[in-house]
Every structure is written in structure tokens, then in C-alpha cells.
Amino acid sequence: MILIYASILPALAFGMFYTDIAYFLTAVQGLSDIFMGSVIMVMGITTVVASIPLGIAADRYGRRKVLIIGNVVASLMIAIFALTTEPAVLFLGAVLEGVSEAAYSASSSALMAEKAGDGRRTAVFSLSGFMGGIAFGIGGFAIPLVVVFEGFGYSNRESHIILYLVLAALSLASTLLMLKVSESKTLRKERGVKNLLPRKSMNVLMKYALAGAIVAFGAGMFVPLMTRWLHLAYGVSDAISGPILGMSSILIGIATLAAPALARRLGMVKAIVVTQAVSTVFMFTTPLCPGYLLASALYTIRTFLMNMAGPLQQSMIMGLVAADERGAASGISSALWRLPNSLSTTIGAWLMGIGLLAMPFYLATILYVISITLFWFFFRTTKMPEEKNALKSEQ
């Protein structure tokens, strides 16, 4: 539980950051759409490059250490993005942000799976998704605080900077809780220097990563850019779109609570496929809406359904790979998700910049259908360890 509590303030800070960054860099800081998309792309590419070695390092030298380093660097980078418009510094900040994301993602899932065990793993990931989703959503609701700061005489730009600095400080403070997290030293001793890559788990990991990479490429075209898309499509500011997207994240958190029950009723794989397939329909219809309220509602339903599968997918891959390879497996799956996701963000930003506002959603729909089909083909007969144990107990 300490690990989950420690993730709340970083999730809040990054809920604000990732919701607002596309709007902040363009509408507030005056930078171009292409530059904004390139910065987000650099974050993702750096995450890709760093994920595998940091995942290996987490398995070998300690997942808690890598988690703490990732959180400290990530918190500082939020402040950096607020304080400068210098392109070189922003690109350097994007690189360090990507490294910190890789460190956090490569260590947190593996550490959580280690603490939970097979019997509670899905429930723990669901609780983590719930708490993280709520915190991420509150981060979106924090964006209108710029209006409060403006009431004290600060400009819109200065108010955004204050907001970024406050949330960066809160995220950094959560490091104190992370210092209290313990981890097993047994798994680290079991890994030899020659066996750093997850060889035992490579087959299932590559199938999982391929399906995820295709979804990631589609999602990158619009998900990181929604504040910008709502501004271009309907003329709304981030003070309006931020809370809307924040509510979407809160509903994501609530959705994750239903994930364990859905997995028990349908089976892990079928639950993932059903929720992703239905969400794709709502994604396709989002850009067809005449107003931002309906578009936001359909996008929220899409996000609710798509991310209900999130903790199930995390639990699934952590349950299928070998226990002593979870850090490396998490790093590899993160890398193969973030690379296409980052590359497609630039494409989405370009399409939006030239006025093709619906095209990112339509291209993403095609990619989602391909990914969901492949995932079902790869894993339709897969049974999780806990599902096998349940069958044995019934016999």
C-alpha cells in the first residue's frame, strides 16, 4: 500500500503536465505545433532507449532505487518545462523526462507484482489504477487554478508557471514515501550477469508488445494532444478542456475497480478484448460531434472502456513472465509501446496543424482493430496462473 500511496502525488502532477503540455507549449508559450509534437516525440523516444537498460538495472541492482531516481528527475523536469522557452533546454528536458519515465515504468510494475503475488496481483493493479486515475484526473482539474492566480495579478503565463512549480514540488515530496518501500533481495541474487535479458519470457513478451505497439501508434496521434485538438476544433481553452479530460481520468480510475470482476467473469484475455473493441467505436465517432460537450462525452466513454483493460494488461504480462525477469520485461514492453506512440504524436500534431482534425481518430481506429485482432489470435487460449489454480480447486 505504501507503494500505491507514494504514486498519488506524482500521478497528480503528471495528470496536469500531460493534459496541459500540448496547450501550454503552443497557446501559452507561443511555440509551434510541430515543435510541440517534436518535444513530446523526444520524450517518448528517450523512454524507448532507456527502458530496456533501466529495466535490467532494476532487476539487477534494485527496483526501489530506480523508482526513486525516476521520480526525482521527473519532478524536476516539470519545473524545467515551466521556466524556459529555449528550444535546446526544452529538448534536454524532454530527454531527461523520457529517462525518468523509463525508470519509473520499468520498476513500479515489477515492484508491485513482487509485493502482491499471483493471488492478489490483479486486484492490486486495479487499486493502483483506481488511485492513479483519480490523482491523474485531479491534475487535470488543477489547470483552472491559473484563473485563481490571475486574480492575484499574475499574467496567464506566470500563472501557468506557478501551477507547474507547485505540482513539481508536490511530486518531489512523494520521494519520502518511496524511501519506506522494501523489496526482496532474493530475486536480484538469482539473476546472473549473463542472463540480463528476459530469455525465458521472450516469446510471450514479444507477442504482447507487438499488439501493444500498434495500439500505441494509434493512440499517440490524439491522446497526448487532446487539449490542443479541443482548442482547434471548438475554440476552448485549457481551463475548460483540462477539467473535462481530468474527469475522463477520474472515470478511468473508477473503471479499474471493475476490472478484477470482469476478468473473473469473462477471463483475462476476453475481458481485455471486449473493453478495447467497444471503446474503439466511441473513438471513431468522437470527431463527428457538432460541439465540444458531446465530443468530450464520447471521448470520455472511449477512455473509460479502453483503460478498464489497463490494469488487466499489466497484471497479465507480470503474471506470464518469470518473476526474476519482470523489471526487464516491463522495460521492454514500455519501450515497444512508447516508440510508436511518440513517433505518431508528431504525425497527429502535423495533421491537426494543417486542419485535418478528424484524420488522427480515423487512422487510430484502423490500427486499434488490427491490434485487438492480433491480441485475440495470440492469447485466446492463454490461462493465467490464478485461473489455472481456480480450475484445479474446482476439480
Give residue-wise pLDDT tens across range 203-223.
888 888 888 899 999 999 998
pLDDT higher for 172 or 310? Answer: 172
Give residue-wise pLDDT tens across range 236-266.
887 788 788 777 767 766 767 777 777 778 8
Q: Answer whether residue 281 shows pLDDT above 90.
A: yes
Domain membership flag for residue 68: yes
Q: Answer whether residue 60 shows pLDDT above 80.
A: no
pLDDT higher for 113 or 185? Answer: 113
Give residue-wise pLDDT tens across range 15-52.
889 888 888 998 889 888 889 888 988 888 888 788 77
pTM above 0.85, yes or no: no
- Give the pLDDT mean for 313-339: 74
Q: Answer whether residue 230 shows pLDDT above 80.
A: yes
Domain membership flag for residue 363: yes
Q: What is the reported pLDDT for 282? A: 93
Residues of the chain above pLDDT 70, percent: 86
- Average pLDDT in the chain: 82
How many degrees, rounded to 5, is the angle at CA 213 between CA 209 and CA 218? 155
pLDDT higher for 148 or 303? Answer: 148
Q: Answer whether residue 55 shows pLDDT above 80.
A: no
Q: What is the reported pLDDT for 43? A: 87
Residues of the chain above pLDDT 90, percent: 25
What CATH code is carried by the domain that includes residue 227? Answer: 1.20.1250.20
Domain membership flag for residue 103: yes
Domain membership flag for residue 280: yes
User: What sign has the CA pseudo-torsion 137, 8, 129, 346?
Assistant: positive
- Give the pLDDT mean for 256-280: 83
Domain membership flag for residue 183: no
Q: Answer whether residue 288 shows pLDDT above 80.
A: yes
Cα(167)–Cα(158) distance, integer angstroms: 15
- Give the pLDDT mean for 360-365: 95
Domain membership flag for residue 292: yes
Q: What is the reported pLDDT for 133? A: 72
Range of the domain at 227: 8-176+197-390
Buried b (16+ CB within 10 A) or exposed e, 106-118: bbbbbbbbbbbeb
Q: What is the reported pLDDT for 118? A: 59
- DSSP assignment of 146-202 equals HHHHHHTT--HHHHHHHHHHHHHHHHHHTHHHHTT----SHHHHH--TT--S-GGGH
pLDDT higher for 122 or 9? Answer: 9
Total domains in the fold of the chain: 1
Cα(126)–Cα(106) distance, integer angstroms: 18
Q: Answer whether residue 178 shows pLDDT above 80.
A: yes
Of 77-86, 99-108, 289-298, 344-353, which gets the smallest average pLDDT? Answer: 99-108
User: Which cell is 337 given?
Assistant: 509501446
Beta carbons of 101 and 70 less than 8 angstroms apart: yes
Domain membership flag for residue 395: no
Q: What is the reported pLDDT for 364? A: 95
Domain membership flag for residue 182: no
